[in-house]
């Protein structure tokens, strides 16, 4: 049997070869090329994800280094400022007793009563809250507040309230003599900051 291409003219043979080439490209070359392109895009995306991850890790490393450096600076600053803090709290009851004695020395004319203040959630182990109540004249209370604010180590005043103490006798005295200083009731919350240390 003779080859059918022999009977075809040159132009027809060109058409058949061109059609075969198009068919070969459409059925084989194009799908393979498409798969290769998709594979390259997938690999590029994976590579880009790895690059992003490395950049993120590098950022974390820089942040960690910065935080560590700041921590070291803060520790060094705290070492220099040790005189601003009371000794570490070894026993809260003993520390509160010592603070009560100290506060009575700072305000001897105010008949102070000191109790443990309400601790907020997350209070540091080196912090003690105290509630103070007392009575006295305004100059005595002012002197007491000044002594608290200028005392070293630091005692921080959280809040304070003053109210005039009125009794029947006091009302008669006030109406008779308006020049005398009224008795005031003092309520105050303070924070005692101590050096870092474990509580036993």
Query: Average pLDDT for consecutive 10-residue bins of the chain (200 residues)?
Result: 58 67 63 73 82 79 78 71 75 88 92 78 70 92 90 85 73 55 89 70
- Structure confidence at residue 179 (pLDDT): 53
CB within 8 Å of 139: residues ≥ 6 apart: 181
Domain hosting residue 133, numbered range: 92-193
- Structure confidence at residue 123 (pLDDT): 55
Domain presence at residue 85: no
CB within 8 Å of 175: residues ≥ 6 apart: none
Q: Check whether residue 9 and residue 65 sit in a common domain.
A: yes
- Structure confidence at residue 49 (pLDDT): 82
- Structure confidence at residue 200 (pLDDT): 46
Domain presence at residue 86: no
Pick from 154, 161, 152, 139: which is nearest to 192 by CA?
154
Contact 117, 129 (CB under 8 A): yes
What gap in Å lies between CA 79 and CA 18, rounded to an integer? 88
- Structure confidence at residue 141 (pLDDT): 92
- Structure confidence at residue 8 (pLDDT): 62
Q: Check whether residue 102 and residue 42 sit in a common domain.
A: no
Single residue among 52, 78, 104 that ends a domain in this structure: 78
Residue 127, classed as helix, strand or coil, is strand
Q: Check whether residue 53 and residue 102 sit in a common domain.
A: no
| DSSP state, residue 121 | T
What gap in Å lies between CA 132 and CA 113, rounded to an integer? 6
DSSP E strands in 39-177: the ranges are: 113-116, 127-136, 155-164
């Amino acid at each position: 049997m003779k080859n059918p291409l022999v009977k075809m003219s040159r132009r027809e043979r060109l058409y058949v070869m061109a059609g075969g080439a198009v068919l070969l490209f459409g059925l084989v070359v194009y799908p393979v090329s498409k798969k290769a392109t998709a594979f390259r895009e997938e690999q590029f995306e994976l590579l880009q994800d790895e690059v992003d991850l490395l950049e993120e890790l590098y950022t974390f490393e820089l942040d960690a280094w910065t935080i560590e450096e700041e921590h070291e600076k803060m520790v060094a600053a705290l070492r220099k400022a040790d005189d601003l803090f009371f000794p570490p709290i070894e026993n809260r009851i003993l520390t509160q007793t010592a603070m009560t004695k100290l506060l009575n020395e700072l305000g001897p004319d105010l008949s102070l009563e000191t109790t443990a203040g309400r601790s907020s959630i997350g209070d540091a182990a080196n912090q003690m809250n105290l509630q103070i109540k007392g009575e006295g004249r305004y100059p005595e209370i002012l002197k007491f507040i000044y002594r608290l604010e200028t005392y070293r180590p630091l005692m921080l005043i959280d809040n304070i309230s003053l109210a005039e103490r009125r009794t029947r006798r006091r009302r008669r005295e006030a109406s008779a003599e308006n020049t005398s200083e009224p008795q005031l009731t003092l309520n105050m919350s303070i924070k005692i900051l101590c050096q870092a240390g474990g509580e036993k």
